[in-house]
Each structure stands twice: as C-alpha cells, then as structure tokens.
Amino acid sequence: MTTKSLEQQLKEWFGFEQFREGQKESIESVLAEKDTVTVLPTGTGKSLIYQYCGYHLPGTVLIVSPLLSLMDNQVMQLKMRGEKRAAALNSMLSFEERNFIEANLNQYKFLFVSPEMLQSQRLQEKLTRLKIGLFVVDEAHCISQWGLDFRPEYLFIGEARKRLGNPRTLALTATAPLAVINDILQYLELKEQDTTILRYDPNRKNIYYQVTEVSNQAKNETLLELLKNYPPPGVIYFSSKAQAENVSQWIRQQTSLRVDTYHADRSNEDRTTIQRQFLRDELDLICATTAFGMGINKQNIRYVIHYHLPGSIEEYLQETGRAGRDGEQSMAALLYSREDFAFKYRKSQETDLNETFLRLLQSKKGKNMPLLSDSDQGMFQIIQQQRMNLSESQIFIEERLKERKEKVVRMKDFVEAKTCKRSIISAFFDHELIERPDWCCSNCQPDASHLVLSLRTKGEQTREGERDRTLWKEKVKLLFQL
DNA sequence: CGCCTGGCACATATGTGCCAGGCGGTGCTATATT
C-alpha cells in the first residue's frame, strides 16, 4: 500500500473529498486481496469502486456487464475523465475494431464484456494470456434474476473466471437478499469463507412507499388521480408491453403530459431517443416494462408508479429506487389488484419442461426439440450441463418453480401487510430498520395528501427555476452569437 | 391464489354440501450471429 491515504487518492483521481457509504469498505477489501460482494443502493457510485481499484492494481480490470448501453456509458464516462485505455468488447464493433482490441488487450486498463462474449473460446484463450488485476461482475443480481431464466450464459461466468486463473473478483449489485447472494457466490464459484460480503439497506429514506388496493375497473381513474397530483418526471411500470402502450395512449388523451413508452419492442434508436428526452426533461412520463431502468442515471425522477404487481420484492426495490436519486422527497405508488397476483402467480408456475419434454431430452433426439419459452432457457441449460436424469431434472424444476412462486407470494404478502412497509423491506434484505422518516409508507401515514401537496409546489418551483435557467442560457447564447 | 363450476354422494325424490379441476385482462427481461 502506498503512503498516501485512500482519501487523498480519491481527491487526486476522482476529485471527490470523501467516500460514500460502502465505497471505502469495498475498496479496502479488494486491496486486501479478498473476493468481494458489495450490495449498495443505486446511484451511490458503484463503478467508482472498480475504477479506483483499477488504478491501484497492476493489470486489466475486466468488467462483465449485462447491457451494451451500460458498457458504452461506462467507457464514455472513463474517456471523458481522460482515461483512454477503456473499451467495450461486443457485437456492436466492426470486424476490424474487434480484431484491433483483441490484438491489443494488454493496452487496456478497463475492458467491458457481456457474459455471452465471455463464453467465446477465442476470447477466453486471449484473456488467459492477459494479466487480470480485477474481475468485476456488474449488476451481479442478473446471475440469479436472468441467468436462471433466459440468459444462461450468466451461470457460466464462474467457469470462465476459473479458466482465467481465479482472478480477484468483485461482484456489485443494488439489491440482493440472502438467496441472491448465495446464487452469486455459487455461480461465480466464490468460497463464502474467503469472500467479503458487504450489504447495505436498499431502503430509501426519501421515498414514500404507497400501496393502494384497487379493482381493475377503477385502476385507470386512480392512476389519473395520481398523475394529476404528482409532479413530473415519473415512470409507470407495467407487466406487459401492450398494456404500457394502451395506457400511455389513454394518458395522452386525458392529460397534457408528455408521455412515451419504453419496452423491448421499441427499436434501439427509439429507446435511445426516449431516454435522452427523458433525461433532458423533454418528457414528463415514461410507460415502461422492466426493460427500462438499468443504467438510467436520472437524478430528479419524482415518482415511480407500479400499475401491476412486480414479480418480486427485489424487482420492486430496483424499480422504485430509480426515484429521488437527488435525495429529494419522492413517491413510490403501487396499484394492486388481486387479479395481478393471480396472473403473476400463474405465469411463475408455467413451464414447458414437462415429463414428455424431459424424456425427449434424455433419449437425445435433440433435433426435433420443441422451441422453449424464454423463461425455460436457463433451467434447460443447467439440466443439460449437469447431465441430470429424469427424476433429478424433475426435482430441480420443481424447486425452481417453488422459488419463483415464493417470490411472487412474498410480494403479495408485502402488499397485503398491515404493518410498516419499510420495515418489511428492510427485514427482507436482513437489515433492521432503525429510524423511520417523517413520510414512511401508506401504513404509517395513510393520508399522504400533505406530502403530495408539498411535492407539487416544490416541483413547480424547480421547473420554473429550470425554465429561468434555460432562458438565461438562451440570452447568453444570443449575446455571444453562439 | 381464489373463485366458480360440475359431478358426485347423501338424504330424500328436490335440494344440500363437499371436493376436484379449471381458469383469470395481460409476460417481461439481452446478447450474439448471419
């Protein structure tokens, strides 16, 4: 370790006076040559941890990242800070670009890859010859949340990591209950006793958690009421793309809000445009599916509404956690109907991996395999990889379905609970809630009309402030004939 | 999950009660390759 304190170097390298919660502890653990799993709320600067460590350690920092847009963002951020030795290795590159990066791997300090790319034989061979100072898995809950469902490559990161000679590893995520931590350890092949596990409460003090039970017939009207009262910008989450489209259209007819939709059926160009407009406050509201959110770095989202029941408490916290990054008071409202639960419950138990299918798999007539649904992909790959026999497969599938079911049931229990929602959230992530904010949840303060009112007035003020600022900018532009 | 329905047994000849089975407005999430 150098003589300079970690804080001094933070100032030198990043220009910050002090670390935020969790950053220093994670850095110290990594620098003490320990594998580290850090669970830290969104927007608290998780990427600083590996960037900082990168400058302390010899060799390359290899970051496994779930989204192309996330990789691009990170590379751009690093470059803007003057770090040119950063690149994202993915399918967006031209043949020449990819060849160039692969031929000069050791020239890079920060290298971003997708889990899929990491599985490439060719790349793995090249990476074994590279000095990897730190192996990072960003958004590590994807291992559990996506790997076991539709992106099986997430489950084989550990294998790749082993082949690269067990480099020191850092896994980062915002929300992980114990079960997810265990999945992360298991699939990254980290030993629990040798790993530092740092967990911080994903509970956000400045978010008021509101849960309202409302029939499906009354839902749109209830929503409209919220939209009239809440100051933008906001996000509404839906369980289906069609519903997101329909309701956004309806909102457009009913209000003067500037609304657009965001889901997997929108083109990449549209998605980028919508994100950019939203970031610049040129859109008030986004009607989205779960596709929206990861890597969205917008500070002033005032509310997140769930039109449907989220699939799990983790998902709920990730999505509501996108509100109020600026620390200002914000709202999370969940509109819950019993049918939502029924739907989620039923879907969670649907699978094509029945006995007939498994027998077909065993008899190795794989050529005529029926096409699997997305949510079966992960299970199927594990069954294949571990060469499970019929009864082993059946037990495995049964367990998985049970886990899926429990997630939805836990979410329902949360919604129907008559006790403090915030306490339930904390307990879910194994934290004890020490103090409640003035505006806690719809069970602690059932009447939130005052909160909404103060939010609205404040929102109006800031928007006027922003308008003034833009006007001022326009004047300056005119003055200097820009 | 929870509600509804149809079938069956039972006690009595038309109604009650219980249980098994089905279904409900809607799945969502990404990378890579050619």
A171 vs A469, which has greater pLDDT?
A171
Question: What is the pLDDT confidence band of residue A459, given thresholds at 50, 70 and 90?
Answer: confident
Task: Quote the pLDDT of residue A324.
Answer: 95
Residues 6+ away with beta carbon under 8 Å from A106: A60, A130, A131
Q: What is the mean pLDDT of residues A342-370?
A: 77
Q: Which residue is nearest to nucleotide B31 (CA to C1')?
A: A116
pLDDT 10s digits, A5-22 = 899 999 999 999 999 999
Is residue A61 within 8 A of residue A85, CB to CB? The reply is no
Asked if pLDDT for residue A364 goes beyond 70, the answer is no
pTM as predicted: 0.91
Q: Which range, A248-262, A361-375, A449-463, has the best average confidence (pLDDT)?
A: A248-262
Is residue A152 within 8 A of residue A193, CB to CB? The reply is no
Is residue A18 within 8 A of residue A173, CB to CB? The reply is no
Shortest CA to C1' contact from A344: nucleotide: B27
pLDDT 10s digits, A37-96 = 999 987 778 999 999 999 999 999 999 999 999 999 999 999 999 999 999 999 999 999
Separation in Å: B22 C1' and A404 CA = 22
Residues 6+ away with beta carbon under 8 Å from A283: A233, A258, A259, A260, A274, A277
Report DSSP letters for A201-269, one per residue: ----TTEEEEEEE--HHHHHHHHHHHHHHSPSPEEEE-SSHHHHHHHHHHHHHH----EEEESTTS-HH
Shortest CA to C1' contact from A67: nucleotide: B30
Largest CA distance in chain A: 78
Instruction: Count Cβ atoms below 10 Å from residue A411 Cβ, excluding itself.
Output: 24
Separation in Å: B23 C1' and A266 CA = 32
Is residue A173 within 8 A of residue A140, CB to CB? The reply is yes
Q: Which residue is nearest to nucleotide B2 (CA to C1')?
A: A342
Shortest CA to C1' contact from A271: nucleotide: B30
Separation in Å: B27 C1' and A267 CA = 19
Task: Quote the pLDDT of residue A328.
Answer: 95
How do the domains of chain A map onto residue ranges?
3-199
Shortest CA to C1' contact from A113: nucleotide: B31
Strand B positions within 7 A of protein Cβ atoms: 1-2, 24-33
Q: Provide, rounded to the nearest whole percent, the portion of chain A with pLDDT above 70.
A: 93
Six-digit token pair at A468?
A: 């003034």
Separation in Å: B23 C1' and A174 CA = 37
Asked if pLDDT for residue A481 goes beyond 50, the answer is no
Asked if pLDDT for residue A359 goes beyond 90, the answer is no
Separation in Å: B11 C1' and A338 CA = 39
Six-digit token pair at A197?
A: 């596990």
Could you say which of 3.30.200.20, 3.40.50.300, 3.40.50.2000, 2.60.120.10 is the CATH number of the domain covering A3-199? 3.40.50.300
Separation in Å: B25 C1' and A216 CA = 9
Separation in Å: B34 C1' and A98 CA = 17
Report DSSP letters for A293-307, one per residue: -TT---S---EEEES
Q: Distance between CA atoms of A368 and A67, rounded to whole angstroms?
A: 32
Task: Quote the pLDDT of residue A464.
Answer: 62
Question: What is the pLDDT confidence band of residue A475, given thresholds at 50, 70 and 90?
Answer: low
Lowest mean pLDDT of A101-115, A197-211, A375-389, A456-470, name the range. Answer: A456-470
Q: Which residue is nearest to nucleotide B29 (CA to C1')?
A: A291
A82: left (phi over 0), alpha (psi -120 to 50) or beta: left
Residues 6+ away with beta carbon under 8 Å from A296: A275, A322
CA distances (Å), A314 to each of A2, A145, A264, A387, in order?
39, 9, 21, 31
pLDDT 10s digits, A296-355 = 889 999 999 999 999 999 999 999 999 999 999 999 999 999 889 999 998 888 888 888
Nearest Cα to A296, choosing from A277, A314, A282?
A: A277
Nearest Cα to A113, choosing from A168, A132, A129?
A: A132
Q: Which residue is nearest to nucleotide B26 (CA to C1')?
A: A240
pLDDT 10s digits, A88-147 = 999 999 999 999 999 999 999 999 999 999 999 999 999 999 999 999 999 999 999 999
Separation in Å: B19 C1' and A172 CA = 50
Numbers of helices and strands, H then E, in chain A? 20, 13
Separation in Å: B16 C1' and A175 CA = 53
Q: Distance between CA atoms of A401 and A452, rounded to whole angstroms?
A: 40
Asked if pLDDT for residue A257 goes beyond 70, the answer is yes
Task: Quote the pLDDT of residue A354.
Answer: 80
For chain A, what is the mean pLDDT? 91
Residues 6+ away with beta carbon under 8 Å from A361: A369, A383, A384, A393
- For residue A208, the cross-strand partners are A331
Q: A351 in helix, strand or coil?
A: coil
Question: What is the pLDDT confidence band of residue A480, given thresholds at 50, 70 and 90?
Answer: very low
CA distances (Å), A180 to each of A35, A156, A161, A188, A311, in order?
17, 16, 19, 12, 15
Asked if pLDDT for residue A478 goes beyond 60, the answer is no
Six-digit token pair at A141?
A: 């809950």
pLDDT 10s digits, A374-419 = 778 888 888 888 888 888 888 988 888 889 999 999 999 999 998 9
Angle at A428 between CA A426 and CA A429, to 5 degrees: 70
Shortest CA to C1' contact from A244: nucleotide: B26
Q: What is the mean pLDDT of residues A237-253?
A: 95
Asked if pLDDT for residue A211 goes beyond 90, the answer is yes
Task: Quote the pLDDT of residue A482.
Answer: 40
Q: Provide, rounded to the nearest whole percent, the portion of chain A with pLDDT above 90.
A: 74
Tokens 């291992």, residue? A143
Positive or negative torsion for Cα A271, A277, A279, A282: negative
Q: Distance between CA atoms of A269 and A249, rounded to whole angstroms?
A: 21
Question: What is the pLDDT confidence band of residue A427, given thresholds at 50, 70 and 90?
Answer: very high
